[in-house]
Amino acid sequence: MPISRRRIRLSAALAGAGLLISGCANPSVGNDRDDPTKPVTLTFWHGWSTPGEMKAINDSIARFEKLHRNITVKVVPNVTDETMNQALRAGGDDAPDVVSSFTTNNVGQYCSSGMWANLDRFMKKSGVDKEKVFPKTLLDYTSYQGKQCALPLLADSYGLYYNKDAFKKAGITRPPQTMSELKRDAVKLTRRAKDGSYQQVGFMPNFRLYQNSPDRMFAQWGPTYFDKHGKAQLAKDPATKKFFATQRELIEAQGGYGPLEKFRARFGEEMSSQNAFLTQKLAMHMDGEWRGLMLRQAKAKFGWDTAPMPVPDDQADTYGRGYLTGTVAGIAHSSQHQNAAWELVQFLTMNTEQVVRFANDIHNVPSTKAALKSPELDADPTFRTFLDIAQNRHSVAMPPSINGGQYVTALMDFSYDVEAGKVHDLDKGLRGLDAQIDADNLQSEN
């Protein structure tokens, strides 16, 4: 089953509302001189909640406890970032020792606040060369300003799901690789009833659809959100205007924003049996690696396959890239058992057998170089598309920020206005967006 993406969106909203801790927090002081060979009980908080996910976590903990007979792990599931951060801020005996989060956008807050311990000293003590263990992009989204306060605990990559039966009927022989091909194929695949209403849309570009948030779509352009001084530069990056122009072209080619939104409103819930791709209302769809397992479990009534998302025509050589995110794990700064906690974090994030088994169990992308190449990984070629995306050197993740996902929320709100035709001067609007992001960051620093 997939990681609970709706909780990610909630965390971003909480960050935007200022409910997550800022960099000025003063976390309780923990203990990094404990003896990890002595009997100890660790508390591990995580956000997974479905029966299959919790079984996979519990199986992982059982494997760890078998290797570390002196360590008992108390697992607390379904914990949100807000709850976790409140507990870490308060400290005390009820606070967790090991923590995990689905929200990579909040890593900047975790590191700058000091609530999550810097893991570099633990890796140095254990002789771990992190650059040899983890792909660069995953390391980038688990650190902030030189502090490695988190490590990747599985990853997600985003690609294109497409209906092979619909492709065959439309005379399309392969998935699109460029944005112009995507527009061409989307038009061919769009079908209407006699009254003009949609029966199937080739590709729904609207940002409010399921996983279609603008940051994920924008990844195909390889954008630069901030300059070297940390200032927002979306208005200065030529890719930004090209991205919005392409999205507008996709919308207009398939009938316009209003009709597409009206059709989208009739879609079923993303994680239900009425998902729009599963019910063939969409012929192509951007989604994460977990969707394949759900399609097989639902016994989809059509042939389907996966491919990387198309790229801009002037960046055709980057085809194969995609958007990356994932779960992160770390040690609470307030933990009195940080060395024992490191044993658990190291096992969950670096033990190749464990990472592979966990990835297979919940159908997520493994987060170490060794695990990505393991022959024990799920051999399904539709899943391996996402493994290739995760290893592609052009794939990107959102850069960490001191205010967590607040800048992502600002981009989303602005993008909703752009696609609806409410932004009449894009240059001016982007300059205003940059100013808003910079002001929010400055407020978080103070």
Output the six-digit token pair for 441. Answer: 């960051």
Last residue within a domain, chosen from 264, 284, 318: 318
In this prediction, residue 27 has a pLDDT band, given cuts at 50, 70 and 90, of: low
Domain membership of residue 440 (yes or no) is: no
pLDDT tens-digit map of 111-141: 888 889 999 999 999 999 999 999 999 999 9
| DSSP state for residue 398 in the 8-state scheme | P
Residue 47's domain comprises 5-156+325-391
Indicate the pairing of strand 198-203 with strand 282-288: parallel
Q: Which of 391, 409, 439 is the last residue of a domain?
A: 391
Task: Check whether residue 181 and residue 296 sit in a common domain.
Answer: yes
In order of 37, 184, 266, 332, the CA distances from 255 in angstroms are 65, 13, 16, 51
Q: For residue 45, what pLDDT is reported? A: 95
Q: How far apart are CA 263 and CA 422, in angstroms?
A: 20
Burial of 109 (0-12, 13-18, 19+ CB in 10 A): buried
The conformational region for residue 196 under phi > 0 = left, psi -120 to 50 = alpha, else beta, is left
| Total count of residues recorded for the chain | 446
CB 89 within 8 A of CB 23: no
What CATH number does residue 260 fall under? 3.40.190.10
**Mind listing the pLDDT tens digit for each residue in 184-219?**
999 999 999 999 999 999 999 999 999 999 999 999
String of DSSP letters for 111-169: HHHS-B---HHHHHHHT--HHHHS-HHHHHTT-BTTB---EEEEEEEEEEEEEHHHHHH
Q: How many helices (H) and strands (E) does the chain have?
A: 19, 9
Computed over every residue of the chain, the mean pLDDT equals 91
The band of 425, judged by pLDDT with boundaries at 50, 70 and 90, is very high
Q: How far apart are CA 319 and CA 317, in angstroms?
A: 6
C-alpha to C-alpha distance for 315 and 267, rounded to whole angstroms: 33
Q: How many domains does the chain have?
A: 2
Decide if 342 contacts 127 (C-beta within 8 A).
no
| 205-264 pLDDT, tens digit each | 999 999 999 999 999 999 999 998 989 999 999 999 999 999 999 999 999 999 999 999
Task: Average the pLDDT over each of 5-19, 125-139, 344-358, 429-443 and give the range with the smallest value.
Answer: 5-19
Question: 164 and 307: one domain?
Answer: yes
Is 219 within a domain? yes
Can you tell me the distance from the alpha carbon of 185 to that of 250, in angstroms, rounded to the nearest whole number?
Answer: 10
333 and 377 share a domain?
yes
Widest distance between CA atoms in the chain: 74
**What does DSSP say about strands 151-163 and 304-307: parallel, antiparallel, or unpaired?**
antiparallel
Do 227 and 104 belong to one domain? no
Asked if 88 and 96 touch (Cβ cutoff 8 Å), the reply is yes
CA–CA dist 63, 69 (Å, integer): 10
CA–CA gap between residue 212 and residue 228 (Å, rounded): 28
